Structure formats: C-alpha cells, structure tokens
Amino acid sequence: MGSFSTTKSKVFGAAFATAALALPSLQFANAAAPPERGVVSFKYLHYQDSQEIAATGSTSVINTISGASSVAASGTSGSGFQDRIGVNAYSVSALVPVAGKWSIGTSYTSDSVSGASPAYHSSGLTTMKDFRQAVDVQLTRYFSKGSVNIGTSYSKESDYISRGFSLQGSLSTEDKNTTLTLGGSFNNDSINPVNNPAIDETKKVTTGLIGVTRVLTPQDIVQLNFGYSKGSGYYSDPYKLNDNRPRERNALTALARWNHHFDDNGTDGTVHLSYRYYSDTFGIRANTLDAEYVQPLYKGWTVTPLLRLYTQSEADIYVSVGRAEKADPTQPTPPPANAVYYSEDQRLSAYGAITLGLKVSKQINKDWLVDVKYEQYEQRAEWSLYGSGDKGLTPFKASSIQVGLSRQF
C-alpha cells in the first residue's frame, strides 16, 4: 500500500465511541428523588472498524480533494477486510447529591481517532488523525412530583467545536405510576476543516422532546418518546469527494421502550426491548430494534447479552456507485449533471446492520462495580429493508470493547 496524505474528519468511529461513553440526557424513568449516594465512574473504550477490500490489481492515487491526495483501496480478488478507523476513548463521570433536593452530574471524555476514511463510497482512502475533548455538566432540582434539569456541554477537536445547552422537566401523578417529560436542547457548532481554511461555517440544531413513562405492573414499565429537531447550516463533509448537502436538515424520532422483570420463574432477570423510528428531510427512513436481557448470577455477577437490528433507506441526495467505479474503484463516480445536492458518503446509502454484544459485570462490594462490554457490528447494503441498497459498496464491520469501573460514596 502506498503512502497516505493526512487529513482529519469526523467519522463513524468517533460517533460510535461518543455514543457508547456519553451520559444519556433522558433516563428511562426519571428519578423522583435525588440519589442517596454519589458515584464516580471511569470508562475506557477501544473501537476498530474495517471494510472489505475492493478487487483491484494495484494501488492508485486518485483525484485530489482540496489539495489532499488520497489513495484508492486495493487488493486482489478474494482479499479480506482492511482496518480503517480506530478509536481509543476515556471517560470520567460523577453524580453527587446536594442538600437533599439537588444533584450535580458531570463527565469528561477524551478520544483519539486515527486510520483511513473513504473519500467516496467505500474507496479512495485518506488517512486521518484527530483528538477530541468533551465536557458535560448537568444540574437537577427535585420536587415532590417531578424534577427540572439544566445542562451544558462543550467538545473540541481540530476542525470542529460544539456547544450545547439543554432543559428538561418531568412531572409525575400522585401515585407515581405515570411521568410526563418535556425537554429541549440547542447546539451551536463551528466547522473549520483543516484541508480548506477558506471554509468557516456553523451549524445550529434545536431539538424538542415529549415523553411519557408508565408503570403498568410491579414487573412492567413502558415509555414512549417523540422528538423533533430542526437544523440549519453546514452539513456537507469537506473531506469527501463530490459532497454538497442541503443547508437544512429536520428530523423526527419516535421511541418505544418496555422493561419486564421476571420475579415469578426464579431467574430474577430483566428484559429490555425498544424500537426507534427516524425520518429526516434528507429522505432517510430508519428503524432500530434493541433487545437485551440482564441476568444476575451468583456472588454479584451479572451477564447481559444484547442484539440490535438496524435498517435505513437511501437519502435523496445519495449517488450510487457508477459502472466505471464498479470496474475500477480508482475512478470516482461523477454526480448527476443537473444535481444541486449530492453525496457519495456510504452512510447516506440504504443498508442494514446487525450488532451482537455481551456485557459482564461484577459487584465487588456495596461500593465497587466493574464491567466489561464487547460488541460486534456488521453492515451490508443487501440487508436493507428499503430495496437492495447500493451493490457497489463493500461490507463494513466494526468491533468495540469497553471496560468500566465505578464507586459509590
């Protein structure tokens, strides 16, 4: 493989690590009272993705992207998977009760990203390396029938700065069996790609959420959330070839969850099921089904297998792999002649994905808890429920392992 030029970019791997380590802004059931004890936790996550190498005879340098040359993926017929993006992420978080009616939560995350990212479709690899730091602070006030939470977040990397603010409130009925949640957030991002200093852009996203949580029985709890986000600004990826996206993107989400606890069959286990629907003005429609089972074992051990099924439709602006590129991945597919918006980012294509995982935790004593979680992800165009997908894309895989340690005080 020839030498790569160095570029930097926000990639799937960074997003994956952030999602795995971040504290959720909306818990399944909002606490009606502040935590009795504080907790400090540390998490480490390693993520690595790979993609099947296209069947070409040699490595070739392709067109430059704003002055940065890139190299097409190469190999021979029958080649296996090639590592692409690797992420190492560290997170420290704390939650502290204050004065019996308040709590303060905070987290700090740092992740380093390196590897090679495709400039178009699943070809045209360019190396990239970046380092991100993020901090999150939340303050919660508890009342007899609910709570109010305000939060702020900040993250910075070489070409991207994000600032966020959130407000969320919950109100419960007298019997505490039903909780209504309302929330909103605002993010203001600055984008300054390193490969094109002339680009000085922003992106602003406002999000609203309404949710209801209901305790049905001593063993069953359900939740239904609806969210809507309105975004404007720079959505294009400056590190992709042939990428010009609309400057507005609005999205609708619906999330349903059900937890059931088995206390009548001797297992003392709990099943968590959820379904999420997503649609946006780019034309993407997505469905996600999550299932996990939490099984306590002997002497503080717990095992949690999990399964996640995902499928999405193709974005309206997505340009499929053309005939010439199928024959030779070093020949990028040009966008349609009259197209105003277009993208050859494989994340906007139609595909399906399966995630299998297992989490093992050990309650060492009343204060200390340690856990290890492993997940394996695979994505293929033909697994999409919205048509056959782009057959010119090669299969994509990713794996992650996360280690956590927490202490209550």
DSSP states of 284-339 as a string? Answer: -EEEEEEEEEEEE-GGGEEEEEEEEEEEEPPPTTB-PPPHHHHH-TTSPPPPPTT-
> Helix (H, G, I), strand (E, B), or coil: what is residue 14?
helix
Strands 6-7 and 123-143: parallel
Q: What is the pLDDT of residue 349?
A: 98
Are 271 and 299 a contacting pair, CB within 8 Å?
A: no
Are 231 and 264 a contacting pair, CB within 8 Å?
A: no
pLDDT in tens, 39-92: 999 999 999 999 998 655 434 334 444 444 444 444 334 458 899 999 999 999
For residues 377-388, average pLDDT: 95
> Helix (H, G, I), strand (E, B), or coil: what is residue 299?
helix
Closest listed residue to residue 345, CA positions, set 10, 8, 3, 1: 10
pLDDT in tens, 333-369: 999 999 999 999 999 999 999 999 999 999 999 999 9
Q: Would you say the pTM of this structure is higher than 0.95?
A: no
Scored b (16 or more CB within 10 A) or e, 33-69 reads ebeeebbebebebebbbbbbbbebeeeeebeebeebb
Q: What is the pLDDT of residue 14?
A: 40
Which amino acid appears at position 347 of this protein? R
Domains of the chain plus CATH, in order, are: 6-408 (2.40.160.50)
pLDDT in tens, 112-129: 999 999 999 999 999 999
State the Cα–Cα distance between residues 157 and 111, nearest whole angstrom: 10
For residues 383-395, average pLDDT: 94
Q: How many other CB atoms are found less than 10 A from the CB of residue 27?
A: 13
Q: What is the pLDDT of residue 32?
A: 63
Q: What is the pLDDT of residue 55?
A: 58
Mean confidence (pLDDT) of the chain: 89
pLDDT in tens, 141-151: 999 999 999 99
Residue linked to tokens 């009259």: 338
Render 74-128 in DSSP notation, one character per residue.
---TT--EEEEEEEEEEEEEEEEEETTTEEEEEEEEEEEEEEEEEEEBTEEEEEE
> Running DSSP on this structure, what letter comes out for residue 21?
H
Scored b (16 or more CB within 10 A) or e, 78-92 reads eeeebebbbbebebe
Q: What is the pLDDT of residue 265?
A: 80
